[in-house]
């Protein structure tokens, strides 16, 4: 079935409409068309999660649990028309709903939808959104902590200041 270019958002709370990416015209249809071109057979119903890559990077990358819950073949980076990259993941089958919920809870500024593909439109039934994460629950960033003395000894601090 060809992917319709019309996208219908259902049940999105008004306070979220200012930042969700799914409302950008043709964004979701282009993601789904991309998967379809790459040989992924999309079922009539499934879950879709979207999250800005900048938010993922600011927390040190995809959390380990998210990597376990997502299928690499069903996730990708996709750009908006203004060149902002988004992480997108599909969830199929019996574990789709709990898997999507678990990932949604671990990614800041993420949004998720239960998708229904109809011949005339893609229906995005709002499933949930996560704005800020509780920083106490996040793992420490995956970068080495070095003292000022170590940075001076290697000359890196001087390179930064130059």
- Structure confidence by residue, pLDDT tens digits, 89-122: 999 999 999 999 999 999 999 999 999 999 999 9
Amino acid 138: pLDDT: 47
Q: If you compute the radius of gyration of the chain from its CA atoms, what whole number of angstroms results? A: 19
Q: Name 161's Cβ contacts closer than 8 Å, sequence gap at least 6.
A: none
- Please give the pLDDT value at position 120: 94
**CA-to-CA dists, residue 37 to 20, 33, 42, 131, angstroms:** 25, 6, 11, 32
Token reading at 18: 């200012």
- Tokens linked to 74: 């069903």
Q: How far apart are the first and last CA of the chain?
A: 57
How many whole angstroms separate alpha carbon 94 and alpha carbon 111? 20
Q: Which residues of the chain have pLDDT under 70?
A: 134-145, 157, 160-162
User: What pLDDT shows up at residue 56?
Assistant: 93
Taking phi over 0 as left and psi of -120 to 50 as alpha, with beta for the rest, 82 belongs to alpha
């Amino acid at each position: 079935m060809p992917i319709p270019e019309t996208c219908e958002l259902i049940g999105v709370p008004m306070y979220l409409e200012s930042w969700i990416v799914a409302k950008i015209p043709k964004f979701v249809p282009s993601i789904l068309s991309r998967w379809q071109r790459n040989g992924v057979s999309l079922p009539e119903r499934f879950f879709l999660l979207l999250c800005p890559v900048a938010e993922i990077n600011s927390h040190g990358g995809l959390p380990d649990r998210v990597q376990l819950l997502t299928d690499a073949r069903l996730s990708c980076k996709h750009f908006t028309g203004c060149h902002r990259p988004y992480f997108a993941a599909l969830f199929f089958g019996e574990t789709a709903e709990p898997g999507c919920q678990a990932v949604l809870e671990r990614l800041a500024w993420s949004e998720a939808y239960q998708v229904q593909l109809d011949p005339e439109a893609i229906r995005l039934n709002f499933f949930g959104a996560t704005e800020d994460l509780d920083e106490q629950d996040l793992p420490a960033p995956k970068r080495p902590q070095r003292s000022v003395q170590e940075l001076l000894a290697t000359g890196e601090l001087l390179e930064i200041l130059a």
